[in-house]
Amino acid sequence: MIPPSFEYLNPSQISEAIAMLQKHGEEAKILAGGHSLIPAMRLRLSEPNYLIDINGIEGLDYIREDGGQIRIGALTRETELEESEVIQEKYPLLLDTVKMIADPSVRNLATVGGNLAHGDPGNDHPATMLALRAVVEVEGPNGSREICIDDFFPDFFTTALEPDEILTEIRIPSPPPGSGGAYLKIERKVGDYAAAAVACQLNIDSTGTIQDIGIGLTNVGSIPIRASSTEELLKGKNPNDNMIEEAGRLSAADSEPMDDLRGSAEYKRALVDELTQRAIKLSLQRAEGSR
């Protein structure tokens, strides 16, 4: 299907793009990688009168580690994340995640910022960023503000962005030595949304005790879910197999899946249970390896 007509706007500065958003409000959409927006337009799920293409704005595309954090420009392509040396060396959770997003040609255009700003609980980065305790920076007419990732997804396909704000950067605390992470996703085929997926990021001390842990769940609720009960169970513990089994059960209880073509709610809860256990074990292994 051919998308509905729209006016194409092509700003070269963020301030210009924000002014366009102020002028056109809810009638405008930001075009980044376009791989969620254009299919939605073709299906008439989205019919913006104005498309603001931010691809011509310089300086939104970078991966920089400084001051104890990694900063990812919102327009960074998934492929750039996948090929980044610092991501390959220090962020196994992000590397796992990006490899499970769509397929290589889609990843050449799809952006990290778009994956978050679309607000789709089926997207993969939201759970990843919950596990990594990321903060996003957004820019609007009154300057920039930071939003904790836990506050970024208030409702189904809804974000904390105001209509005249643009997501500009994702900030993730650099993992200390003894950190590991993993993203495990069950999909029916390459390019599908997850039937369920689990993101885990943790840090252990020299005795193997978990100092910090973050767990995010993909596509098992109307928003991306933090598995808080699992995190509480494991923080400060040196987990044995029984405890990891309990962790799986708690994550499944924190999830709120619905029956759909990808499986029954019961099946998806079973996936969350099993994937949580595997993600924790793999993260622990990787944490041992990084110490």
Partner 1 sequence: MSKYSVTIEINGSNFTREVDSRLLLVHFLREDLQMTGTHIGCDTSHCGACTVLMNGRSVKSCTLFTVQANGKSLKTIEGMENGGALHPLQEGFHEEHGLQCGFCTPGMIMRGAELLEKNPDPTEEEIRWGISGNLCRCTGAVNIVKAIQYAAEKMQKEAA
Where do contacts with partner 1 occur on this chain (CB under 8 A)?
A: 1-8, 10, 31, 34-35, 38-39, 42, 51, 53, 55, 79, 102-106, 108-109, 190-191
Contacts of 60 (CB under 8 A, 6+ apart): 14, 54, 73, 74, 75, 76, 113, 168
Give the shortest CB-155-to-partner 1 separation in angstroms: 26
Alpha-carbon gap, residue 290 to 180, rounded angstroms: 7
Give the shortest CB-122-to-partner 1 separation in angstroms: 15
By beta-carbon proximity to partner 1, the closer residue of 31 and 197 is 31
- Mark residue 223 as left, alpha or beta (left: phi above 0; alpha: psi -120 to 50; beta: remaining): beta
Alpha-carbon gap, residue 70 to 90, rounded angstroms: 10
CA angle 251, 148, 136 (to 5 degrees): 115
By beta-carbon proximity to partner 1, the closer residue of 7 and 266 is 7
Contacts of 147 (CB under 8 A, 6+ apart): 135, 136, 137, 138, 160
Distance, C-alpha 35 to centroid of its chain: 15
Give the shortest CB-73-to-partner 1 separation in angstroms: 18
By beta-carbon proximity to partner 1, the closer residue of 76 and 179 is 76
Give the shortest CB-194-to-partner 1 separation in angstroms: 16
Give the shortest CB-114-to-partner 1 separation in angstroms: 13
Give the shortest CB-109-to-partner 1 separation in angstroms: 6
Q: What is the DSSP string of 103-131?
A: -HHHHTT-BHHHHHHT--TTSSHHHHHHH
By beta-carbon proximity to partner 1, the closer residue of 13 and 105 is 105
